[in-house]
Amino acid sequence: MLLLSKEASPLERVQFLMGTYVRIEVLDGTDEVIDKGFSVIRNLDELLSDYKPDSELSKVNRLAGGKSVEISDHMKEVIQISLAVARETGGAFDPTIGALTIGAYSFGRENFKIPSNEEINRAKALVDYNSVRLDGNNLSFEKEGMMLDLGGIGKGYAVDKAVDALRKMGIHGGSISISGDIRVFGIDQEIGIRHPRGDGFIATFKSGGRDLSISTSGDYERFAVGEGKVYHHILVPQKGISGNDFQSITIVLENNNTLADAYATALFALGRPRALSFLDGHPRIGAFIVFSDGEVFISNAFKELVKDLNIYI
């Protein structure tokens, strides 16, 4: 997903953070303001990354099994939201998926491997959001070996916190993008949804000046090939294998990238029938879905939230 045209020429800078390129644009700010936005995202990466051995999340994963660990306010907030989404989606979004993604598969790491059925079953037994205990800022896991993976919500959370910081500094219009997570506020900006199986875009739309949160999850984003098969990182927690009903899912909400990020991941794991049922029960979630067969579904909320939608199929 990419930002396309803008109604004005904002101040814009790009840095490499959270394992990807982060772009911050402001209409009415300075380099100092943008520096603050990058600083917020950098600090959250130090807390939430499971790739950094000294991050707070990595320390939690090493220490929280069977005993209580004190965590930061940001970590507490992300976990609280993650557990709420887990309950709402019946575990399709589960922050304890780390036993599979980090442990059994090691996605995004040099030691990626295709786990055996036995290894998957052992890891699945440790994926259980109901076994997370949060008492104030004290966190523990009921099962030794459980691990949190906040990759399905962390970038969205970082976008929201960076936007909050910009607004506190007086910024009334701009955008922040971290990979597939984009927040546009106070400007009318054109956004393109990447074609999951080809070059260019499958759709474009404008934000219409609204405070829009956009998050895309795709089977092309982070994957590995082994034994002649493609394994992407969005796993179905109950099965321990990649979800295969979708090519990409784009979620649009008003001013909440944290939830947009989590919902995009959850719908992928729910599969086609349950995802469509979930959207029926959540009519305010905008969804642009490309199914595995190339069919496109667009929810009514998506059409209402965006402006000048164009589809290229």
- How does residue 112 score in pLDDT terms, banded at 50, 70 and 90? confident
CA dihedral for 65, 242, 219, 107, sign (positive or negative): positive
Would the pLDDT of 49 be above 80?
Answer: yes
Would the pLDDT of 202 be above 90?
Answer: yes
Would the pLDDT of 221 be above 80?
Answer: no
Alpha-carbon distances of 77 from 14, 73, 137, 153, rounded to whole Å? 27, 6, 10, 11
More confident residue, 253 or 241: 253
- State residue 10's pLDDT score: 77
- How does residue 224 score in pLDDT terms, banded at 50, 70 and 90? low
CA nearest 242: which of 260, 251, 229, 259? 229
Residue 268 CA to residue 32 CA, distance in Å, equals 38
Structure tokens belonging to residue 283: 């009519």
- State residue 9's pLDDT score: 60
Calculate mean pLDDT across residues 175-199.
94
Calculate mean pLDDT across residues 37-58.
96
Count other Cβ atoms within 10 Å, centred on residue 275.
25
At 64, the amino acid letter reads A
- State residue 198's pLDDT score: 84
CA nearest 244: which of 233, 254, 253? 233
Structure tokens belonging to residue 259: 């939830």
CA nearest 289: which of 204, 207, 186, 216? 216
- State residue 215's pLDDT score: 97
More confident residue, 255 or 234: 255
Only one residue has tokens 């546009």, namely 184
Residue 271 CA to residue 129 CA, distance in Å, equals 20
Residue 302 CA to residue 91 CA, distance in Å, equals 24
Cβ neighbourhood burial of 249 (10 Å; 0-12, 13-18, 19+): buried
How far is residue 248 CA from its own chain's centroid? 13
Would the pLDDT of 40 be above 70?
Answer: yes
Would the pLDDT of 93 be above 60?
Answer: yes
At 274, the amino acid letter reads R
Would the pLDDT of 6 be above 80?
Answer: no
Q: Establish how many alpha carbons lie within 13 A of residue 240's alpha carbon, considering only the half-sphere containing its beta carbon.
A: 22
53, 203 in Cβ contact below 8 A? no
Radius of gyration over alpha carbons of the chain, in Å? 19
- State residue 288's pLDDT score: 98
CATH of 47-141 among 2.60.40.10, 1.10.3980.10, 1.10.10.1800, 1.10.287.3510: 1.10.3980.10
CA nearest 244: which of 213, 290, 186, 277? 290
Range with the poorest average pLDDT among 4-18, 32-46, 68-82, 188-202: 4-18
Alpha-carbon distances of 10 from 36, 92, 146, 177, rounded to whole Å? 16, 39, 44, 14
Would the pLDDT of 232 be above 70?
Answer: no
Work out the mean pLDDT of the chain and round it to a whole number.
91
H or E segment and range at residue 202: strand 201-206
Q: Pairing state of beta strands 229-232 and 235-236?
A: unpaired
Phi, psi of 109, rounded to the nearest 5 degrees = -120, 160
Would the pLDDT of 69 be above 90?
Answer: yes
Q: Where are the alpha helices (DSSP H) in 202-295?
A: 257-270, 272-281
